Structure 1
Amino acid sequence: MSAPLPTSDFRLPTPRTYAILGTGALGGFYGARLQQAGCEVHFLLRSDYEQVQQHGLVVESIDGDFTLPQVKAYRTVQEMPTCDVVVVALKTTQNHLLPELLPPIVKPTGVVLVLQNGWGIETQVAELVGSDRVMGGLCFLCSNKVGPGHIRHLDYGQITLADYAADYAPCGITDRLKQIASDFEQAGIAIELAEDLLIARWKKLMWNIPFNGLSVVLNATTDAMMAHPQTRSLAKSLMQEVQAGCTACARFLSGSDRSISSDFIDTMLDYTAKMKPYRTSMKIDYDAGQPLEVEAIVGNPLRMAQQAGLELPQMTMLYQQLTFLAAQQSS
């Protein structure tokens, strides 16, 4: 493990180099926007490598379509240079690969920015690179990969950035957060800086748990769920359980009173009602017969709440339903 660096006075170099692990709907979109804005970006690809190597990346976006005819594309991390910021945009179902992917490409003074859904991901990454070299990012993005090297951005795009510390202790707004935020903002991405990654993570779970989960169980898009009063009510009940889980988690890990305002639930419901009809990432994976991120998005936070002594019955039922569907699909 690399030696920890003091987060408070750790400044990244200017300009910064970026590596994108997972050039899909999320990593491909943000990486392409960073390169379009002038950043040096290196993309790890698997099945799309030949297409992207020859033809670049194509982004259809509500903010304006663009093509990057040439990108720095690689099939393995061994071919990639070390970078200042390594963006983890893989599905969490591939996180077993991180021990081989991360060490070769993170500079000794670099950081890992985790742009993944779920709970506890930063802790796993910290075991590989040191807890003072990890940041979390929560993306509110409607984007799909519609073909090899072809991304369609439908709506939103903002990211909440926060620094990580052991047991998700609040870190405040650090210099390196501001530096990385400035790169994304230069690329036209709205950024919110958060002092507390624990709260930021559970806020994202407040959307991901009900809407990713219910979209699979109910075979529905967001607009259909929001248009049905009973389903909207069910989503709100799940959000309230996530809210309670956040409070219990904070008390268990640090003994502190940290919570999400009830107003945030209504805000998320309003955002979702105004979204263009959207098939969630978990629904896309389910329809394509791909592994589902059930454990990271639902299982891990549920177990965290139970460890803190809190039972969440509706989230438990959703988890049981999703694990059944995932098992049926893989059998």
Structure 2
Amino acid sequence: MDTASGLTYAVLGTGALGGYYGACLQKAGLEVHYLLRSDFDLVQRQGLVIESPDGDFALPQVNAYRRSPDMPRCDVVIVALKTTQNHLLPDLLPPVVKDDGVVLVLQNGLGVEAEAAAIAGPERVLGGLCFLCSNKVGPGRIRHLDYKKISMGEYSAAGEAVGITDRMRRIAADFERADIPIELAEDLVLARWKKLMWNIPFNGLSVVLNATTQDMMANPDARSLAEALMEEVMKGAAAQGRAIAPEFVQTMLDHTAKMKPYRTSMKIDYDEKRPLEVEAMYGNPLRAAQAVGARLPQIQTLYQQLRFLDAQNRGL
């Protein structure tokens, strides 16, 4: 039988993503510590509740903290904040990472590990792409709807493919023990571009079109627009020397068509008038492509629309 690695985990950002993965790790017997803000009092008293098609479960007692200096230093610090909160990392990260610990950045976008690397050192950072449909539906309550796989890779400041390391395997074993499928990526940059194949069309269009994934897939015009955006993502990846097979477009469309009706994380942020992850998800890929001479006009248009809507929505 598999046994836990003995690694300790900290979760910075106990929301729909961090709360779900952290709870799964704790349920599997791992030591997990959670940083919370608005939910701190309730979670400290009542714990976390996960609703899931895999089976609902509750963790009546969790290690909850309001401030990162109050947390113990951990082997693996999971950054599950939105990228719009990365300006908090210089205060949050140093107190909680062991001297020989690593930071696992579970965020959307491209180049998002750089901020953690500037604090912890690039050699101590890994990146992860989460293929997860999950919403926070109340304080300390997370509803997992569909999918849950993570693709994880080593960060390189130079953007090189690092390959698969022993520490990746050790962390992956813990997630697999927690029934989280995990794919080890030899090239984190390629993995991030592949995730953008979904994020760029469906997160952005969900806001611009005011639609769920089901709405978009049911409409030929929206589906065609998503497909065209995916093809531009492939072009951006190719400009950075990363080839994505053309058939991956159909794979993403098929997965989305089978997905339970889902309001994307960006649409939820928009509806709640929270800042949108426009720069990490659109600005960074655009700038990376432009730096090597590639132009992505449809993504550029969506980027500018989202910047406008975000500013209007928050009264900026």
User: What TM-score does the superposition give when structure 2 sets the normalisation length?
Assistant: 0.97
Residue 276 of structure 2 corresponds to residue 285 of structure 1: no
Name the structure 2 match of 1:19.
10
Aligned counterparts of 1:116 and 1:123: Cα–Cα separation in 2: 12
Name the structure 2 match of 1:223.
214
Residue 176 of structure 2 corresponds to residue 185 of structure 1: yes
Residue 27 of structure 2 corresponds to residue 31 of structure 1: no
Residue 304 of structure 1: how far off its partner (Å): 1.1
Which blocks of at least 5 consecutive residues in structure 2 are unaligned? none
Residue 50 of structure 2 corresponds to residue 50 of structure 1: no
Name the structure 2 match of 1:274.
258
Aligned counterparts of 1:229 and 1:319: Cα–Cα separation in 2: 22
Mapping of residues 203-218 of structure 1, within 5 Å:
203-218=194-209
Residue 165 of structure 1: how far off its partner (Å): 1.3
Name the structure 2 match of 1:150.
141
Contact 2:44 / 2:62 at 8 angstroms: preserved in 1?
A: yes
* AA in 2 matched with 1:212: N
Residue 14 of structure 1: how far off its partner (Å): 3.9
Aligned counterparts of 1:150 and 1:287: Cα–Cα separation in 2: 19
Post-superposition CA distance 1:57-106 (Å, at most 9, x none): 00000100000000000000110000000000001110000011111111
Aligned counterparts of 2:90 and 2:211: Cα–Cα separation in 1: 36
Secondary structure of 1:166's match? Answer: coil
Residue 249 of structure 1: how far off its partner (Å): 2.1
Aligned counterparts of 2:108 and 2:251: Cα–Cα separation in 1: 19
Aligned counterparts of 1:330 and 1:123: Cα–Cα separation in 2: 27
Contact 2:17 / 2:80 at 8 angstroms: preserved in 1?
A: yes
Aligned residue pairs total 312
Aligned counterparts of 1:226 and 1:237: Cα–Cα separation in 2: 14
Which blocks of at least 5 consecutive residues in structure 1 are unaligned? 1-12, 251-257
Secondary structure of 1:168's match? Answer: coil
Aligned counterparts of 2:119 and 2:197: Cα–Cα separation in 1: 28
Residue 230 of structure 1: how far off its partner (Å): 1.3
Name the structure 1 match of 2:237.
246
Residue 123 of structure 1: how far off its partner (Å): 1.7
Residue 145 of structure 2 corresponds to residue 161 of structure 1: no
Secondary structure of 2:240's match? Answer: helix
Residue 315 of structure 2 corresponds to residue 324 of structure 1: no
Aligned counterparts of 1:33 and 1:277: Cα–Cα separation in 2: 23
Contact 2:25 / 2:174 at 8 angstroms: preserved in 1?
A: yes
Mapping of residues 28-107 of structure 1, within 5 Å:
28-107=19-98
- Quote the RMSD (CA, aligned, Å): 0.9
Aligned counterparts of 1:105 and 1:168: Cα–Cα separation in 2: 26
Aligned counterparts of 1:311 and 1:249: Cα–Cα separation in 2: 12
Identity of aligned residues (%): 68
Pick from 280, 285, 294 the counterpart of residue 310 of structure 1: 294
User: What TM-score does the superposition give when structure 1 sets the normalisation length?
Assistant: 0.93
Contact 2:5 / 2:173 at 8 angstroms: preserved in 1?
A: no
* AA in 2 matched with 1:172: G
Aligned counterparts of 2:131 and 2:86: Cα–Cα separation in 1: 21
Aligned counterparts of 1:310 and 1:49: Cα–Cα separation in 2: 45
Secondary structure of 1:244's match? Answer: helix
Aligned counterparts of 1:19 and 1:168: Cα–Cα separation in 2: 26
Post-superposition CA distance 1:276-322 (Å, at most 9, x none): 00000000010111111111111111111111111111001101110
Residue 264 of structure 1: how far off its partner (Å): 1.0
Pick from 99, 102, 126 the counterpart of residue 108 of structure 1: 99
